[in-house]
C-alpha cells in the first residue's frame, strides 16, 4: 500500500474500492501548496449506493448481534493502522499540516490506541439488564431492558483532527452494532479513504458494514441527514453547519449527534503564577495553528496585572513561529487552506477596527512565500463583546480580556453562545475547582489537568453541541433502549 506519492484514493462501497462517479479532486499540502494527489469525487448516486449497502448490511446480516465479530474486526483495523503507522504519519503531516509531534498524540497514535476502548467496551458490555418480576397494574411481569444498535449511522467529519474524529465515530458506532457511512471533509479525504484500503486488505468487516465516501461537494454529505434509510447522523464541525444537519434530520426525526464550535476561556485567578499560566495559554492557542474546537482562545486575567499578562502571553506566542510541520520542534504549522487563512486575517483586521492591538503577530509571516501560514497572535485592548471574543476563529489567535475578581471571571467565561471547554489556574486547588464547577462547559482543566482520554466523554453545553463523544457515554450514543415485558407465571 502506497500512502504518498502519485496517489489516487478510492471510495469504499459495499466492500469494494471503487472510483467516484464525479471523477477525482485534488488534495493539497497546506505547508507547500503542492498537490499531493487526488481522491475519488463521489456524487449523490455514489452516496445512495453507500447508504443502501449499509442499510442492507444492517437489516439482512447478523452484524448487529455478533459481538465477537465486531470486536475482532475493530482490533484488526487497529492492528493494521499500527502496522502502517509511519506511512499514516507521513500522510497526516502532508495532508493535514499537522505538526509531527502531534502525530504521537491526538493526531494519529492516540486515536488508534483508543480503538481498544471501543472493542473492550463492546466485549464486556451489559447488553441486557434483568429488572426481575414485578406486578405493574396488578399483572405479574418479568421485565428486561435490552440495548441495541440504532441502525445505519451517517458520520460527517471535519479536517482539523481527521483520524481522531473519524475513529471517535467509526469505533463506537461499529462496536455498538451499527453499520456506517463516513463522509470526511474535502480538505482531508485521504485520511479517511486510507481506512477503506486497510479494511479491505486486513480485516473481516462484511461488505456494506463500513462505507467511505469522499467528495468535493458538501451537498453529498448533507444527503446523510436527509435520507430516511439513515437512522442517525453523527456530525462534528461548525455550529452553523450543525444547525443545517439538525434541520435536515428533523424531516425523518432521526437521532442527531452534534459536536460543534467553541470559544473557550482560560481563567487566571489573582493568586496564580501569572507568567506560567499565560505562557501555557499561549502555547495551547498556537498548537496546530489553533485549529481545535476546544482550544482556549480567551485569556481572562486580573485587571491589575493585565499588561503583565499580555507581555507574558506575547513572549511565548511570539517565539512560536509558524514552521514546517515535518520538523520535530514545530508547534504551529499551517492552517488548512488559503480560504481559512484569509478568514482568520479577516478576524485580525476586525480586532484593529474595533480598537484592539497586536502584542505579537497579526498576519501572514513575511518570510514565507508559500503555504497557508498565520503568525501566532495575541490581541489586547478589547473586551468580551469584541468579534474576536465572540466568534470561533480557528486560528492561532489569543484574545486577552481583563476580569475584576472571581465572579466577574466566571461571568465572562459563561458570556458566550458556546460551552465546550474551560481552564482555571489558581494556587488554591479548591478555589480553582470551585470556579470550574461554575463554568457552563463540557470539559474543565484545573491547573493543567488533561481531560482528553478514550474513557472520558467529550462534548459541550449550549451551541457547542448535543450529546457526548468518547467514553461510555459516547458508546451509548449509538444505542437504542428497548423495554421488554414478559408475562410471568
Catalytic residues: 259
Question: Of how many residues is the chain composed?
Answer: 489
| Rounded Cα gap, residues 390 and 319, in angstroms | 26
C-alpha to C-alpha distances, 327 to 53, 332, 393, nearest whole angstrom: 42, 11, 25
What the block records as the C-alpha cell of 271 is 493568586
Query: What 3-state DSSP class applies to 215?
Result: coil
C-alpha to C-alpha distances, 291 to 336, 337, 397, 422, nearest whole angstrom: 9, 12, 10, 16
Contact 312, 274 (CB under 8 A): yes
C-alpha to C-alpha distances, 427 to 268, 277, 371, 432, 450, nearest whole angstrom: 10, 11, 41, 8, 18
| Rounded Cα gap, residues 430 and 434, in angstroms | 6
By CB atoms closer than 10 A (0-12, 13-18, 19+), residue 417 is middle
- Residues in CB range of 321: below 8 A, 6 or more apart: 332, 365, 375, 376
Residue 199: closest CA among 66, 111, 72, 21: 72
Query: What 3-state DSSP class applies to 59?
Result: helix
Query: What 3-state DSSP class applies to 70?
Result: helix
Cα first-last separation, the chain: 61
| Rounded Cα gap, residues 121 and 472, in angstroms | 8
**Is the dihedral angle over the CA atoms 317, 318, 324, 326 positive or is it negative?**
negative
**Is the dihedral angle over the CA atoms 394, 234, 415, 448 positive or is it negative?**
negative
* Triad 383, 389, 390: Cα angle to 5°: 120
Amino acid at each position: 500500500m502506497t500512502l504518498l506519492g502519485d496517489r489516487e484514493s478510492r471510495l469504499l462501497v459495499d466492500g469494494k474500492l471503487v472510483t467516484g462517479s464525479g471523477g477525482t479532486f485534488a488534495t493539497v499540502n497546506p505547508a507547500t501548496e503542492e498537490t499531493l494527489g487526488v481522491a475519488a469525487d463521489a456524487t449523490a448516486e455514489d452516496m445512495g449506493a453507500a447508504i443502501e449497502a449499509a442499510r442492507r448490511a444492517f437489516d439482512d446480516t447478523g452484524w448487529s448481534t455478533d459481538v465477537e465479530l465486531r470486536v475482532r474486526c475493530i482490533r484488526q483495523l487497529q492492528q493494521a493502522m499500527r502496522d502502517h503507522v509511519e506511512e499514516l504519519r507521513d500522510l497526516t503531516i502532508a495532508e493535514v499540516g499537522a505538526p509531527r509531534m502531534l502525530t504521537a498524540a491526538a493526531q494519529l497514535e492516540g486515536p488508534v490506541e483508543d480503538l481498544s476502548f471501543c472493542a473492550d467496551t463492546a466485549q464486556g458490555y451489559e447488553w441486557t439488564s434483568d429488572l426481575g418480576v414485578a406486578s405493574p397494574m396488578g399483572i405479574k411481569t418479568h421485565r428486561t431492558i435490552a440495548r441495541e444498535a440504532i441502525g445505519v449511522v451517517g458520520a460527517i467529519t471535519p479536517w482539523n483532527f481527521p483520524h481522531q474524529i473519524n475513529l471517535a465515530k467509526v469505533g463506537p458506532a461499529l462496536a455498538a452494532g451499527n453499520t456506517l457511512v463516513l463522509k470526511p471533509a474535502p480538505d482531508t479525504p485521504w485520511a479517511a479513504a486510507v481506512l477503506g484500503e486497510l479494511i479491505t486488505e486486513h480485516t473481516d468487516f462484511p461488505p456494506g458494514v463500513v462505507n467511505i465516501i469522499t467528495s468535493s461537494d458538501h451537498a453529498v454529505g448533507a444527503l446523510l441527514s436527509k435520507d430516511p434509510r439513515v437512522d442517525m447522523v453523527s456530525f462534528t464541525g461548525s455550529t452553523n453547519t450543525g444547525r443545517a444537519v439538525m434541520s435536515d434530520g428533523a424531516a425523518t426525526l432521526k437521532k442527531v449527534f452534534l459536536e460543534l464550535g467553541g470559544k473557550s476561556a482560560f481563567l487566571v485567578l489573582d493568586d496564580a503564577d501569572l507568567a506560567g499560566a499565560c505562557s501555557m495559554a499561549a502555547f495551547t492557542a498556537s498548537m496546530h495553528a489553533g485549529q481545535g474546537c476546544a482550544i482556549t482562545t480567551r485569556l481572562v486575567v486580573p485587571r491589575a496585572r493585565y499588561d503583565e499578562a499580555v507581555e507574558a502571553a506575547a513572549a511565548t506566542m511570539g517565539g512560536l513561529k509558524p514552521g514546517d510541520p515535518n520538523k520535530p520542534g514545530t508547534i504551529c504549522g499551517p492552517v488548512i487552506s488559503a480560504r481559512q487563512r484569509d478568514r482568520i486575517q479577516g478576524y485580525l483586521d476586525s480586532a484593529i477596527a474595533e480598537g484592539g492591538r497586536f502584542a505579537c503577530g497579526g498576519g501572514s509571516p513575511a518570510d514565507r512565500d508559500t503555504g497557508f501560514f498565520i503568525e501566532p497572535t495575541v490581541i489586547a485592548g478589547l473586551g468580551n463583546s469584541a468579534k474576536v471574543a465572540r466568534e470561533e476563529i480557528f486560528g492561532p489567535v489569543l484574545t486577552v480580556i481583563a476580569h475584576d475578581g472571581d465572579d466577574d471571571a466566571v461571568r465572562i467565561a459563561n458570556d458566550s453562545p458556546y460551552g465546550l471547554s474551560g481552564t482555571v489556574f489558581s494556587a488554591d486547588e479548591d478555589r480553582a475547582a470551585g470556579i470550574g464547577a461554575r463554568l457552563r462547559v463540557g470539559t474543565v482543566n484545573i491547573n493543567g489537568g488533561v481531560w482528553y482520554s478514550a474513557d472520558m466523554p467529550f462534548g459541550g453545553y449550549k451551541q457547542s453541541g448535543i450529546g457526548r463523544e468518547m467514553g461510555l457515554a459516547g458508546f451509548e450514543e449509538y444505542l437504542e433502549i428497548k423495554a421488554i415485558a414478559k408475562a410471568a407465571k
